[in-house]
Amino acid sequence: MSRKLDMSLTYSMMSPAATSTTSSGKTGDFDVSTLFVADKSARDEASLALAEAAKKNGVEFFGSIGLNDALVKVCLISYHSVLVSVATRLKI
């Protein structure tokens, strides 16, 4: 018996600039997508800026910029990519 595994997941693979999440003006703007760009030096710079902003504004800053949602989205996209890759290799 052969079964087809449906691993379809709808998500957008737009450029980080097109899917950026910014905070309200209350705590200052921070573009969460800069934490996930391909360029390592840009990621490092963004993480340092995030750390400084969190020091100034407290841990509530993470919620105000949507960091949790961004991390979940990135994990789901990565997980989906791995599943698709495995399924392709297994010809499921």
pLDDT in tens, 46-91: 999 999 999 999 989 999 999 999 999 989 988 888 888 888 888 8
Is residue 24 one of the residues assigned to a domain? no
Is residue 18 one of the residues assigned to a domain? no
User: What is the tally of structural domains in the chain?
Assistant: 1
Range of the structural domain that residue 74 is part of: 32-90
Is residue 22 one of the residues assigned to a domain? no
Give the global pTM. 0.57
Is residue 1 one of the residues assigned to a domain? no
Q: What is the reported pLDDT for 55?
A: 94
Is residue 62 one of the residues assigned to a domain? yes
Burial class (CB in 10 A: 0-12, 13-18, 19+), 32: buried
Is residue 78 one of the residues assigned to a domain? yes
Is residue 54 one of the residues assigned to a domain? yes
